[in-house]
Structure 1
Amino acid sequence: MSQHTFTRRVAATVGAAAAVVVALAGCSTPAAPSAGEENVPGVSDDTVTIGTHTPLTGPAAAGYSSISAAATAYFAYLNDKGGVHGRTIDYLVKDDGYNPATTQTVVRELVQEDEVFAIVNGLGTPTHTAVLEYLTQNEVPDLFVASGSTSWNQPEKFPYTFGFNADYVVEGAALAQYAADEYPDKVVCLLGQDDDFGDEMIEGAQLALGADGLAHVERYSVSNRDVAAQIGALKAAGCEINILGTINGFTALALGTAAKMGWFPMWFSSSSGADYPTLVGYLGEDVGPKLLQGLVGTNYLPSLGGDSDWVSLFRQINDDYNDGAPFDGNTIYGMSVAYLFAEALEAAGENPTRESLVEAVASGGLAGNGILPLSFGEDSHAAYLGVGITAVDQGVQDYVGATYAVDGGTVTSVDPAPVELSGEGVPGS
């Protein structure tokens, strides 16, 4: 069981009120800036400079390196439309190789040398955890972390940090609840990364199924690309549905290893490891589509296989500003994050400060482009507390109609409420 339990979720609401009295210790939402504040890091008369850390090389690169490129393409599109309050956005992307030590180095470069206005969509649970305290101490807005760890939702401890992904507890609970609803007699197991990612997927699954609801659990490390022992143990345990708390490369590795054993159970994956085009890239065009048929996943953004106006816009931006790079779920993710930052920057005012940017997010006034409302507020730094269930059918990955939310430790079925595209995807237009 993860140390990040639902007790902390409830405590966050109470703790936020108590945090006001210790603001000088850096444990409250930042105060409003004084009038006429000048020399804001990363903000000039015509540019806002922001940065990120992401794996352009290393074990996670093939699954995630396209995210920052997609965000950069959206910002180029936005800049051609006039930017935000007359300022263009300059997005500095630094490779950390999915290595926490490297993350510390590049984030310090972004803050101290490049003097960025904010860190936006830093990717990875172990990597971003390594810079969380540093960004808090330096009062740098730490927006829309690319990880579902519940660590980002601690407003009383990390007032500048906000998540973007639906958290792993939510995803684990939704996948397990879907398994219970649709396949009540099947044996459910789980394969998870050996960190908060795996811990919280287990926590969510047990929330839906009960403490003894998972028949078997296996863990893996990203430093070891051999999961034959874990897959063999799941097979021996008679698992029929395997919930995956895996990044894309290890989702493909799990499916490929099982296929070599002649074992073909059902696979239910977190959104972090369920992108169909990315998985086909790992598995190959010859066997990938066959192994991925029926793959169940989660999502909270416009679906690659759907007919959303957001997807149509992002396809066009990808063609025009991203050198025609392959269009997949990571493209949609990267552009969705970039749009949300632009929305926050627009709401931060004509002369934005770091404080006004954080206040804009915490106000609860941002819409984003998800299938459910954003959950940001003074007492919540989580973006999405619910997800839709997706499935792959003949190469198309789309929503199947089931949508779940987690509220107060309870998993409930909810109706999606997709945000409609407006203003050509340019906030404030």
Structure 2
Amino acid sequence: MRIRSYVTWTGLAVALALAAGPAGAQQYDPGATDTTIKIGNINPYSGPASAYGTIGKTLAAYFDKVNKEGGINGRQIEFISYDDGYSPPKAVEQARKLVESDEVLLIFQSLGTPSNSAIHKYMNVKKVPQLFVATGATKWGDPENFPWTMGWQPNYQSEGRIYATYIKDNHPDAKIAVLFQNDDYGKDLLKGLTDGLGDKASMIVAEVPYETSDPTIDSQMIKLKDSGADVLVTIATPKFAAQSIRKVAELDWHPVHIVNNVSQSVGGVLKPAGLDNATGVLSTGYLKDPTDPQWKDDPAYADWVAFMDEYYPDGDKTSSFTVYGYTVGQTLKQVLEQAGGDLTRANVMKQAASLRGLEPPMALPGIIVNTSETDFFPIEQMQMMKFNGERWEMFGPVISGEVRS
């Protein structure tokens, strides 16, 4: 699948490009010209993580909006997105195509820990930005060894520590069962949970993995229930998180159920699982929930709704994935605006590592984007929340957690 977001130049855009300065003042690497910036993306529009495909579609819609409004520093965005089906070998193929054939300036928001792991070394050897990857693996914040790769969302180990803190404070005598995806993503969050429990790690009485190729996780869920646990932590992508919530209900099991942040979408996970089944589930958030009425008079929410209505009318307004795509798109726009006419790959990374006090409009109050040459974790705060059958309700303080590779 190939999605292109590219709008024909208008007279205003041409004027802005000419106003940017003489040609000699511009510096370009492949993927950038006086008139365009070419951005690559890899997304699972098919396969076991296809629920995330709406993020890629949201990004395409967002860059349509940017282009219609004159582009970035007068340059139009050409957004090229390919499907990898959540398959690492396919991700490698698509990354090579984007870098060597399409000659993009950078790859932005490539999704999934397995896929990004597969292209991690390639992108750094090629010195092409692997920017704001759509995965919270802690290894994306390693500028010393991988200076061309940066995450965006809160990292999984911080998230795991937040769950550990919540459990220790509120369920100190709990027995914990963990369902986790058997790859770097699942193991990373599990490590954060275990490390956060510290000398209470023996509270974990069962750790059961699943493979993304598994058709169901029924047998894993039965094993977890049989462990006698009264707290369940689900570390899973949307398809399997929804299955987990449904199976808990089918088994008439009533644990305190925590679902990791990447699978807290009401439209993409909780509705497929059954809203009644999902009532009482816990998670963490850092973006405004589009189903939460507290934002109905919020100007940022109104802007997001207007964006959805005009540029992505078929998109799901109950899904956090569309909020996520919109917000990370805004972050890249900020980076490219800061880059000005120096559209080299090195300067893109320099600007990405120079974000200070950025408060994305659709982020929760208190969530701030900060980066530096030694800090490649843009967002490091989250807040606990509980699903009430209709929407998420935030509770407790915004919690900051810092993890260094």
Q: Structure 2: how far apart are the matches of 1:378 and 1:325?
A: 36
Match of 2:310 among 320, 329, 342: 320
Structure 2's unaligned 5+ residue stretches are: 1-23
Match of 1:132 among 116, 120, 136: 120
Q: Structure 1: how far apart are the matches of 2:155 and 2:89?
A: 24
Q: Is the 8 A contact 2:42 2:110 kept in 1?
A: yes
Q: Structure 2: how far apart are the matches of 1:303 and 1:280?
A: 13
Q: Structure 1: how far apart are the matches of 2:72 and 2:251?
A: 54
Match of 1:298 among 284, 302, 306: 284
Aligned to 2:353: 362
Aligned to 2:206: 216
Does 2:229 match 1:268? no
Does 2:188 match 1:200? yes
% identical equivalent positions? 28
Q: Structure 2: how far apart are the matches of 1:266 and 1:251?
A: 15
How do residues 74-89 of structure 1 correspond to structure 2 at under 5 angstroms? 74-89=62-77
Q: Deviations over 1:300-349 (max 9, x none)?
A: 22232241433322221011001332111000000111100000000112
Report SS of the residue matched to 2:252: coil
Q: Structure 1: how far apart are the matches of 2:263 and 2:233?
A: 11
Deviation at 1:38, TM superposition (A): 4.4
How do residues 72-111 of structure 1 correspond to structure 2 at under 5 angstroms? 72-111=60-99
Report SS of the residue matched to 1:129: helix
Does 2:34 match 1:45? yes
Q: Is the 8 A contact 1:176 1:208 kept in 2?
A: yes
Match of 2:131 among 143, 168, 176: 143
Report SS of the residue matched to 1:390: strand
Aligned to 1:289: 275
Match of 1:155 among 143, 146, 155: 143
Match of 2:336 among 338, 345, 353: 345
Using a 3 Å threshold, how does the CA distance of structure 1 residues 309 and 241 change in structure 2: closer, same or farther?
farther
Report SS of the residue matched to 2:66: helix
Q: Which moved more, 1:107-116 or 1:387-396?
A: 387-396
Match of 2:222 among 232, 244, 262: 232
State the AA in 1 paired with 2:264. A
Deviation at 1:252, TM superposition (A): 0.8
Q: Is the 8 A contact 1:125 1:149 kept in 2?
A: yes
Deviation at 1:368, TM superposition (A): 4.8
Q: Structure 2: how far apart are the matches of 1:185 and 1:310?
A: 42
Deviation at 1:36, TM superposition (A): 5.2
Q: Is the 8 A contact 1:336 1:368 kept in 2?
A: no
Deviation at 1:404, TM superposition (A): 2.0
Q: Structure 2: how far apart are the matches of 1:314 and 1:158?
A: 34
Structure 1's unaligned 5+ residue stretches are: 1-34, 410-429
State the AA in 2 paired with 1:397. W
Q: Is the 8 A contact 2:210 2:220 kept in 1?
A: yes
Aligned length: 370
> Cα RMSD between the aligned structures?
1.8
State the AA in 2 paired with 1:198. G
Does 2:368 match 1:373? yes
Q: Structure 2: how far apart are the matches of 1:274 and 1:218?
A: 20
Q: Is the 8 A contact 1:339 1:368 kept in 2?
A: no
Using a 3 Å threshold, how does the CA distance of structure 1 residues 309 and 242 change in structure 2: closer, same or farther?
farther
Q: Structure 2: how far apart are the matches of 1:134 and 1:251?
A: 31
Q: TM-score, normalised by structure 2?
A: 0.87
Q: Which moved more, 1:333-342 or 1:181-190?
A: 181-190
Deviation at 1:298, TM superposition (A): 1.3
State the AA in 2 paired with 1:345. L
Match of 1:404 among 394, 399, 403: 399
Q: Structure 1: how far apart are the matches of 2:280 and 2:28?
A: 54
Q: Structure 2: how far apart are the matches of 1:67 and 1:191?
A: 25
Aligned to 1:258: 248
